[in-house]
């Protein structure tokens, strides 16, 4: 009995982590956990755990706690992992290859149904159960089926034209690994960025900050 509607992004971003912890508990045959115990393990507060879970309806039992399996299933439902969306990969360089091979798409709500590349020496090569296709065939490919998401593993300088083309083909949803800001150009697009370079820079900041602090004390 989910409440849904207007669950904040802060909560959503915590859900996959809850999902991981609950899955692990269920695997270890722990079928019951209190908000306090879960909070301790995840470095959160019990209040926050209860607030989060109550965004989508009461799943605990007073005096008892939460059923790990039921809660895990509920989060699975909330995250939309039950239905598989179709995704295509654009760019099969180092990063694209790694993403395709490393991610278990089916466990995250997606099916990888195509991989496209511009450089001739990669076209035709196998990638998982797929063969890498010529980027020029993209339009024909998309006209024959519904594609929900494009995974962008292309260099920044290509990103503008490629995302424009994908958008014109009706793809409004991007898992974006390139350093290009799609949402600035297409405000109605659904964009999830994985900016590894940015992530590494914030790590640099924290190390730097930490060493400055140690110097001063």
Partner DNA sequence: TAGATTGTTAATCGATTAACAATC
By CB under 7 A, name the binding residues for DNA: 8-11, 33-36, 44-48, 50-51, 53-54, 58-66
Of 13, 28, 143, 214, the one binding a copy of itself by CB under 8 A: 13
- The least distance separating DNA from the CB of residue 49, rounded to whole angstroms, comes to 8
CB 59 within 8 A of CB 53: yes
- When asked if residue 39 is in the footprint of a copy of itself (CB under 8 A), the reply is no
Q: Which of 33, 97, 116, 135 binds a copy of itself (CB under 8 A)?
A: 97
Phi and psi at residue 17, in whole multiples of 5°? -70, -45
Angstrom distance (rounded) from CA 110 to CA 83: 8
Identified binder of a copy of itself from the candidate list 131, 146, 164, 203, rule CB under 8 A: 203
The answer to whether 154 and 91 are in contact (CB under 8 A) is yes
Q: Does 27 bind a copy of itself (CB under 8 A)?
A: no
Which of 3, 32, 41, 157 binds a copy of itself (CB under 8 A)? It is 41
Using CA atoms, how far apart are residues 99 and 105, in angstroms rounded to an integer? 10
131 binds, among DNA, a copy of itself, none (CB under 5 to 8 A by kind): none
Give the Å distances, CA to CA, from 128 to 81, 97, 137, 147, 172: 21, 9, 19, 19, 25
């Amino acid at each position: 009995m989910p409440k849904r509607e207007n669950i904040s992004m802060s909560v959503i971003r915590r859900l996959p982590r809850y999902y991981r912890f609950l899955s692990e508990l269920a695997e270890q045959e722990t079928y019951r956990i209190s908000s306090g115990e879960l909070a301790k393990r995840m470095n959160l507060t019990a209040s926050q755990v209860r607030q989060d879970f109550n965004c989508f309806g009461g799943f605990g039992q007073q005096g008892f706690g939460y059923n790990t399996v039921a809660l895990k299933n509920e989060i699975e439902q909330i995250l939309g992992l039950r239905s598989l969306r179709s995704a295509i990969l654009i760019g099969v360089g180092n990063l694209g290859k790694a993403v395709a091979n490393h991610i278990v798409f089916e466990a995250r709500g997606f099916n990888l149904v195509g991989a496209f590349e511009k450089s001739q020496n990669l076209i035709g090569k196998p990638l998982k159960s797929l063969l890498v296709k010529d980027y020029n065939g993209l339009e024909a490919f998309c006209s024959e089926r519904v594609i929900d998401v494009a995974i962008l593993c292309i260099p920044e300088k290509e990103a503008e034209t490629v995302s424009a083309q994908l958008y014109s083909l009706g793809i409004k949803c991007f898992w974006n690994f390139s350093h290009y800001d799609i949402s600035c150009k297409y405000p109605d697009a659904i964009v999830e960025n994985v900016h590894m370079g940015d992530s590494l820079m914030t790590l640099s900041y924290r190390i730097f900050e930490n060493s400055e602090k140690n110097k001063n004390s």
